[in-house]
Structure 1
Amino acid sequence: MKSATPFLMFQDGTAEEFMNVYTSLIEDSEIKHITKYGAEGPGEDGTVMQAVFTLKGQEFMCIDSHVKHEFTFTPSFSICLTCDTEEEIDRLYNKMMENGTALMPINNYGFSKKFGWLNDHFGVSWQLNLPE
């Protein structure tokens, strides 16, 4: 086995926007490779056929699915970020909550100094933690 990589499937043509937002929001992150559909399809011209990006060094893959499915993202799979400072966790949480939904509003739940769990406006679930 060469690797195990989290893979995100977007159904609304927002994969590239997602990568741009989060690689700019999270330091040490980058888009490594994007292949897009052309006019010949099968996906919509300019949408992501396949992409590789990193968030804080963790590699991810994503696509814009040209096939509509009866499912989307679920909070049972989330991306966890361990923050270094209160300013960092607050900045990330507030940015991610723009048109997002809080699953566990940012607070001290007893297991860390500060924790928040949310679905961003893309539907991706995030856990943000500031350890004691």
Structure 2
Amino acid sequence: MASRVSTFLMFEGKAEEAMTFYVSLFKDASVTSIKRYGPGEPGTEGSVMMASFSLNGQRFMCIDSSVKHAFTFTPATSIFVDCESEAEIDTVAAKLSEGGQVLMPLGEYPFARKFIWLADRYGVSWQLSLTNA
């Protein structure tokens, strides 16, 4: 079996909420597994020990860290989505930007007919693009 590469997202108590939100944004998306902390385990009981989900065939993993860290997500790493229609980019951009921060506003750019770069309400950075092709 070949090695698997996945994007891994660490949250502090919002992993399941974020994962459920992300899965709701795309047609081909699902939660593929979830394991929660139980009584007496090192994380908050019921929070996500390890979960995986799929967005349009791309596998992601996420956890709720019980340890407070001095770091969080950064826009230097983002999830890039090639949208298939103007309706998709408009809808996904509107939902992801709610409670988040727009880094580059939705509009036309030399490299894309329509593009937006944002950090969502959880701090995860996204680039959505509708290319010229």
**TM-score, normalised relative to structure 1:** 0.96
The number of residue pairs the alignment matches comes to: 131
Share of identical aligned residues, percent?
A: 51
Pairing 1:70–2:66 present:
no
CA distance in 2, matches of 1:83, 1:52: 22
User: Match of 1:6?
Assistant: 7
CA distance in 2, matches of 1:41, 1:123: 27
DSSP-derived class of the 2:112 partner = coil
Deviations 1:16-57 (A, max 9, x none): 011111111111111000000012121111100001111111
Tell me what 2:100 maps to. 100
Segments of 4+ in structure 1 off by > 3 A? none
Counterpart AA for 2:93 = Y
Which amino acid is the alignment partner of residue 18 of structure 2?
F
Instruction: Give the 3-state SS of the residue equivalent to 2:84 in structure 1.
Output: coil
2: CA distance between counterparts of 1:45 and 1:27? 31
TM-score, normalization: structure 2? 0.95
SS in 1 for 2:116: strand
| Post-superposition CA distance 1:68-99 (Å, at most 9, x none) | 11000000110011111111100000011110
Look up the SS of the partner of 1:90 in the other structure: helix
